[in-house]
Amino acid sequence: MASLYLASGSPRRRELLAQIGVPFVTLGAAIDESALPDEPAHGYVERLALEKARVGLASLADNTDAVVLGADTAVVLDGQILGKPQDRSEALAMLAALSGREHQVLTAVALASRTRSAVQVVTSRVTFRPLRPGEAEAYWATSEPCDKAGSYGIQGLAAVFVSQLQGSYSAVVGLPLCETAQMLNEFAIPCWQTVPVNS
């Protein structure tokens, strides 16, 4: 059986993979995450996920039976990618822009082995209720938005802002589990490996 490596430092992605019973080893895959000029959001997340998987694969001393998973998530509003906030003012501006509106969350998952690679992008639609005065400031004070695309985490405190979700909840968190499981199966990595089975 192939060995799975996760080219991501995201604790959310580690938790999601563990949730479906897939053992893995985490490795680093530092890449430039800057968007290219006029690059569409779909192409951006697809490119970064593939690049992370391929850089991770290249970093292994022996990749004979290795499969590396890379993923990337982008929050998109009016065609603009909202990345991780640089500071308080940027986070508050993002949250104000998302307030009372629908936005897209695009998550790409890529797998790379020595012989092939595959990538898939999952799009979900998330609607925020209108934020009340002071809510964005109070949310920023929790420090949760600091390392989140779009300045929020649906799996955390910001769940109270989300009035509607169309698509994959796990994809919004950072890894579309249904699609990831199907892709892993194609690379001969089954799910539920670490789940106890009653005999």
- HSE at residue 56, side-chain half, CA atoms within 13 A, is 28
Helix or strand holding residue 97 (H, E): helix 88-98
174: left (phi over 0), alpha (psi -120 to 50) or beta: left
Q: Catalytic residue positions?
A: 72
What is the identity of the amino acid at 85? Answer: P
Using alpha carbons, select from 86, 82, 108, 81 the residue that is nearest to residue 8. Answer: 108
